[in-house]
Amino acid sequence: MEKLFLLAAMLLCGHSALLANYQNTRDSLPPVETKAGFAGYKPAFAGQTRVAGAKTMTPYKVEKIASGLGNPFAIVVMPDGRLMVTLKSGTMEIHDRNGALVRKITGLPEVVYAGQGGLLDVVFDPNFGTNRIMYWSYSEKYEGGTVTAVAKGKLNESAGKVDNVSVIFRATPATKGNLQFGSRLVFDKKGELYVSLGEKFAPDVRVQAQSMSSYLGKIIKIKADGKVEIVSLGHRNPEGLDISPATGELWESEFGPHGGDEINLIRQGKNYGWPVITYGLEYSNDKVGDGIQQKSGMEQPVYYWDPVVSPSGICFYGGVAIPEWKNNLFVACLSGQHVDRLIIRNDRVVGEERLLADKKQRFRDVAYGDNVLYAITDDGDIYRILKQ
């Protein structure tokens, strides 16, 4: 009996070693980025960039369920599981879970459809099932320039419109530019609405990302009573925002300049550094400001890319159908032409994988719902990714 017990223990130990080796093989591959960086700055800590590569071992399938929608910005899973897509030209579309068009939604406030402007993100009120209220962000003409605005209204799906529309926020001051508006929207469990706002690009304007008297380059929170609070400052162009299902904390993706795209963990009152610190260069290849990457009182990105991948929309995978994806962060990459999978443990990125790179498309947004991951491209194609 003792010999049998010893043999079983040895087999069990061997099996555990095999599992450990399997896990290491899956999550400890060479970094996915092999190209030289633009700036070549050194990271502040190990794993801040070019972390070990990873590979999904659970079989999954990728299906194109719609195509040719026309310059979308957001894809959002509705509370009933259908999909809402915003088109930058100023309309929304409801699609069923298989990608078929159900209804076009028109009659929204006029957008500035130019440059990076247009109709941007959409999010549904926590009580949408009963009140049918939704919120959206867009670029708006205002005071002789443009601003990122947030509006709310009641979805009248049968009529294909939104009723009782009102603008609840404008990211003043207005500027003349039509670049880097942001913007994503997400509700927390308290029913407070977070909004990410770009700094509008121009060198004489972007410095306002460091000013608490300006909404440019900020993440804000709109409370249930309508009051607006600045959550964080020092952002460039944050086009991704989501809340971790594991921790309840807010995460953000942000375009750097020539290098230095970022993933940030957003905390109240923190300064994320732009344009004082950055891991990127000007598009002219000159240094940004003093060319520094660290400064006391300014937060480091959890992760950054150099060269850029142009990270747009982000979402966490909250399901269990593909167990190794649980609580992973997925990033829609434009110039990178893939969906990036980031494995996060203890607020650090420990693994990275590139998905859908074979599609050779600019991915604008990703969304999660009911154990399914959705991705939409600048060409207007919708992909559904799910367990095989």
User: Which domain does 326 fall in, by range?
Assistant: 53-387
The answer to whether residue 40 is domain-embedded is no
Query: Based on the structure, what is the number of domains in the chain?
Result: 1
For residues 181 and 272, give the distance between their C-alpha atoms in angstroms, rounded to a whole number: 17
Q: How far is CA 236 from the centre of its chain?
A: 14
Sign of CA dihedral 222, 227, 228, 231: negative
Write the CB contacts of 194 (distance below 8 Å, at least 6 apart in sequence): 185, 186, 187, 188, 219, 220, 221, 231, 241, 250
For residues 206 and 199, give the distance between their C-alpha atoms in angstroms, rounded to a whole number: 5
For residues 362 and 369, give the distance between their C-alpha atoms in angstroms, rounded to a whole number: 22
For residues 233 and 299, give the distance between their C-alpha atoms in angstroms, rounded to a whole number: 10
The answer to whether residue 21 is domain-embedded is no
- In this structure, what CATH number is given to the domain that contains residue 187? 2.120.10.30
Tell me the pLDDT tens digit for each residue of 114-147.
999 999 999 999 999 999 999 999 999 999 999 9
Write the CB contacts of 181 (distance below 8 Å, at least 6 apart in sequence): 116, 117, 120, 137, 139, 146, 148, 197, 198, 200
Contact 148, 171 (CB under 8 A): yes
The answer to whether residue 8 is domain-embedded is no
- pLDDT means per 10 residues, the chain with 388 residues, are 37 37 58 95 98 97 96 98 98 98 97 97 98 98 97 98 98 96 97 98 95 98 96 98 97 98 98 98 97 98 98 97 97 98 97 98 97 97 98
pLDDT over 90 percentage in the chain? 91
For residues 253 and 241, give the distance between their C-alpha atoms in angstroms, rounded to a whole number: 7
- pLDDT attached to residue 347: 97
Whole-model pTM: value is 0.93
The answer to whether residue 70 is domain-embedded is yes
- pLDDT attached to residue 180: 97
The answer to whether residue 255 is domain-embedded is yes
- pLDDT attached to residue 27: 62
